[in-house]
Amino acid sequence: MKASSFVSLIFIFATALGVAASPTNTNSVPSNDLAMEDEAEIKIKYYGKCFIDEKMKMTKCKYDGPNGRTSFCRCHFKRCTKNGAKCHFDSVNKDCYCS
């Protein structure tokens, strides 16, 4: 009888400890969604200029990406007709559009 009351006491103690350790306000716990961005700062299109890389035989788009960093994307389907032509990177579809 003593062993069962001891086990019951430990079970009640563990339950009370779990209730005390769980937060009552779910907004007080910081979220671990590190990839989430503020909706006001999401840009869909980043505009830039094309340049033709003769050595690699491809066209690339040079644009100012997130946080002001210079980024490059490769124009897959439509090649730039001249250096300095307009292009943009679509961050939603992850596509590079050159003209």
Residue 48 confidence (pLDDT): 93
pLDDT at position 49 is 94
More confident residue, 99 or 1: 99
Q: What is the mean pLDDT of residues 63-83?
A: 85
Alpha-helical runs (H) found in 1-99: 2-21
Percent of the chain with pLDDT over 90: 13
* The domain made up of 43-98 is a member of CATH 2.40.50.60: yes
> pTM (2 decimals)?
0.51
Query: What pLDDT was estimated at residue 27?
Result: 59
pLDDT at 80: 83
Per-residue pLDDT tens over the stretch 19-41: 556 666 655 555 544 444 445 45
Residue 59 pLDDT > 50, yes or no? yes
| For the chain, domain boundaries | 43-98
Residue 73, number of CB atoms within 10 A of its CB? 21
